[in-house]
Amino acid sequence: MKHAGFAGWVVVFFVLCAPMVFAGNGEKDSTRTPKIKLVPGPAVDYAPETSLSFGAFSIFTLNFYQDDTTRTSEAFFEWQYTLNKQVVSRLEWHLFFRENRFVLTGLNRFLKFPELFWGVGNEAKNAAEESYEGLRIELYHELQKQVLPNLFAGVAVDFQGLTKIELAEYSSTFSDPNVVGAKGYSMFGAGASLLFDNRKNVLNARGGEWYAGIRNTVFFPVSGEVESFGNFQVDLRTYFAPVKRNDEHILGFQVFGEFNSGQPPFRMLSLLGGPYHMRGYYEGRYRDRHYFTAQTEYRFPLIWRLGLTVFGSVGEVSHDFSDLSLNNLKYAVGSGLRFKLDRKENINARFDFAWTRMGPEFYIAWGEAF
């Protein structure tokens, strides 16, 4: 069976992470939070887009100011090679300055990969599946200022490029006129954002916390047969603690929407699926100018460092905003296992198993989906 080895890879993950777990047990007697804390380890991930991947990662938690107001800053580096012959390298950070007056975010990814493509639209057929190869670079940097308690306004720059594209000798799916940028492109974007965020830990929120953000970006062509377009995103999340006096039980909700004006390149369209939204669908299995999704997840402890989750989501893509309809929704449900790598900083590894009308898929990843 395609997923018969899932339990085996979970066991392998626990064995590989054992040194990190026991190394962290020495912190119990410390009365002061370390300014810089490093959790390194072997990276063993799985997703439908990559298959199994191997590499290394490092999670940094940063507490420079040693006060009760400034949130913990975090940085993450990962390099992986996948069984689909993909190379993935990413460096991300969320840095909070004193009393959260400023927040600096960086998301940098370099990917060399083959990837599947079914065309554009909410009704893309399985028979249209094609594979292409390319080199993708994504650089996103944002500076936000706290204007009111937990309310941040920011500006951002965003560069995305896709080059060295190799298509099948005969590609009917990429010949569709709705597929923009099939010969490669690079785009530069400038935008602004407004965010309310009272989470103490961006990797694992707690009951009573909220995240509500909007972002508007205008992209301009740098190279390729592409045109300028606008991108607007809205992301709403809330978390509850349904069990009194136990903050390990978390019920979370998220509503996410992405809407584009103009015609973005095919890889910058709104993508349904992936490890964060609509788990169970290959990221980009359906794509178009607009995307709307909602999901909920219940997280609760089991024993020791282990926890369980159950989740469900709905979503769809459309070319025009007016085409979004309840009749066209895609569905996904699932459950997952959590393994707490760091009890003090509340950092989890997650193992999610999701079901859709296309069958089951599973994920091994770091941090919660939302």
Task: For domain 6-366, give the fold.
Answer: Porin (2.40.160)
CA gap 334, 116 in Å, rounded: 23
- Closest by CA to 362, choosing from 2, 112, 115, is 2
Alpha-carbon Rg of the chain, whole angstroms? 21
pLDDT of 134: 93
172: its two tokens: 């009917």
What mean pLDDT is predicted for residues 174-186? 89
pLDDT of 66: 80
What integer best gives the mean pLDDT of the chain? 88
| pLDDT band, very low/low/confident/very high, at 239 (cuts 50, 70, 90) | very high
Task: Give tens-digit pLDDT for 66-92.
Answer: 888 888 888 989 999 998 889 999 999
pLDDT of 28: 45
Asked if the model's pLDDT at residue 120 lies above 80, the reply is yes
SS3 sequence of 88-140: EEEEEEEEECHHHCEEEEEEEEEEEEEEEECCCECCCCHHHCEEEEEEEEEEE
Which has the higher per-residue pLDDT, 127 or 219?
A: 219
pLDDT of 252: 97
pLDDT of 22: 44
Q: How far apart are the first and last CA of the chain?
A: 30
| pLDDT band, very low/low/confident/very high, at 38 (cuts 50, 70, 90) | confident
pLDDT of 29: 43
pLDDT of 307: 96
* pTM for the predicted model, two decimal places: 0.86
- Closest by CA to 61, choosing from 28, 29, 94, is 94
Task: Give tens-digit pLDDT for 329-344.
Answer: 999 999 999 999 888 7
pLDDT of 119: 93
> Which sequence spans correspond to the domains of the chain?
6-366
